[in-house]
Amino acid sequence: MQPLQRFGRLAFAALAIQSLAAPLFGADFDSRHARDLAGNPADLYFQLDTASGQHSFQIGERIPLTLAFSSDSIEKYKLNGATFYRS
């Protein structure tokens, strides 16, 4: 069998497996995500956005982000804003 034909068959097989398995993993993800969301504190908020408001980027382009944390409860949570690299 020629290498190109072999690659085509392997690519088709991989695509077929992915197409058939995706709904199984998607349902599992959705149920775990819903469970995890329900376990989050109701008075704690986190917002992630792009710094410029831009929503389209080129491959390799840096994407500056802004993070916002807030809470309805005063003095209940503390944020450690450490920005140093921890390995």
3-33: per-residue pLDDT in tens? 555 566 777 777 766 666 656 565 688 888 8
Question: What value does the mean pLDDT of the chain take?
Answer: 80
**pLDDT by residue (tens digit) across 43-81?**
999 899 999 888 899 999 999 999 999 999 988 998 887
Instruction: Return the closest-CA partner of residue 45 out of 67, 26, 22.
Output: 67
Q: How far apart are CA 31 and CA 44, in angstroms?
A: 22
- Asked whether the whole model's pTM tops 0.85, one would answer no
Domain locations along the chain: 3-71
